[in-house]
Structure 1
Amino acid sequence: MARRKRRSFTPEYKAEAVRLVHVGDRSIGEVAKALDLPETALRNWTKLAAIDAGKGPPGALTTAEREELVRLRRENKRLEMEREILKKGGGLLREGEPVRFELIDAEKAKYPLAVLCAALDVSRSGYYAWKGRPASARARADEQLGVEIVAIHRRSRSTYGSPRVHAGLRAKGRRVGKKRVARLMREKGLAAQRKRRFRRTTDSNHDGPIAPNLLERNFVQEAPNKVWVTDVTYIFTAEGWLYLAAMIDLFSRRVVGWATSNTNDRFLALDALYQALRARRPRTGLMHHSDRGSPYASEDYRKALRDRGITASMSRTGDCWDNAVAESFFASLKGELVDHERYATRTAAVASIGDYIERFYNTERRHSHLGYVSPIEFELRSQTAAIAA
Structure 2
Amino acid sequence: MKKSILLLTLMVALGTGATAFAAENDSLTVNGDIRLRFDKQTNYNQPDFNANKYRIRLNLGYKLSPEWSFNTRVVAGDSLFGDAPPNVDDVQISVASLTYKQPDWNATIGRQVFSMFEGLAVSMDDGHTPGDAGYPAAGNRPDGGNAKNFPSLQGAKFQNKIGKTNVTSFYGNLNARTDDGANYNVKGIAAIGPVGAFKVGGMVYTTDSYVSAADVSKYGVKNGSKTGYSVTANTKLFNNYLYTGAEYIWGLADTHDKAYKLIAKTPETKKVGDMQYAVEYRNIEQNALDYNSCTNTARGISMMRTKNINIGDFTYWALSAKRQLTPELTATLFYEKYNPQNHGKTTPSSAQVEDQVYRLQLDYKF
TM class by smaller structure: under 0.3
Larger radius of gyration: 1
Task: Answer 1 or 2: which has greater helix percent.
Answer: 1
Q: Larger % of strand: which?
A: 2
TM normalised by structure 1 equals 0.23
With structure 2 as the length reference, what TM-score do the two structures score? 0.24
